[in-house]
């Protein structure tokens, strides 16, 4: 992973496909595998489960896009 840019609103990273797969697997496990009650999810992870699932979908799209490259 390489940090490209950082400001108060966003961080731009360059990541390897294998790193995206790792993030996908981790997000999937915490969102769908581990039994974390709905109320506790944002307490433990800082965001609601819906945000984690949305990020999981977006990273999944990036992984799929990288398959053709």
Q: Averaged over 2-8, what is the pLDDT?
A: 97
31 lies in a domain?
A: yes
Per-residue confidence at 9, pLDDT binned at 50, 70, 90? very high
| Domain assignment of residue 6, yes or no | no
Q: Would you say residue 40 lies in a domain?
A: yes
CA neighbor of 59 nearest in space, from 6, 30, 31, 17: 17
- The Cα–Cα gap between 32 and 50 comes to 11
Total domain count, the chain: 1
Q: Identify the pLDDT of residue 68.
A: 77
Model confidence band, residue 22 (pLDDT cutoffs 50, 70, 90): very high
Residue 60 located in a structural domain: yes
Residue 4 maps to a domain:
no
Identify the domain containing residue 28 by its residue range. 15-67
Position 8 in a domain: no
Instruction: Judge whether 62 lies within some domain.
Output: yes
Whether residue 69 has pLDDT greater than 80: no
pTM, rounded to two decimals: 0.84
Asked, for residue 45, whether it belongs to a domain, the answer is yes
């Amino acid at each position: 992973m390489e940090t490209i840019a950082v400001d108060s609103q966003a961080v731009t990273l360059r990541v390897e496909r294998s790193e995206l797969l790792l993030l996908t697997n981790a997000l999937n496990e915490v969102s769908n595998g581990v039994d974390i009650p709905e109320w506790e999810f944002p307490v433990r992870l800082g965001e609601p489960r819906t945000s984690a699932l949305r990020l999981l979908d977006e990273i999944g799209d990036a992984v799929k896009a990288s398959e053709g490259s």
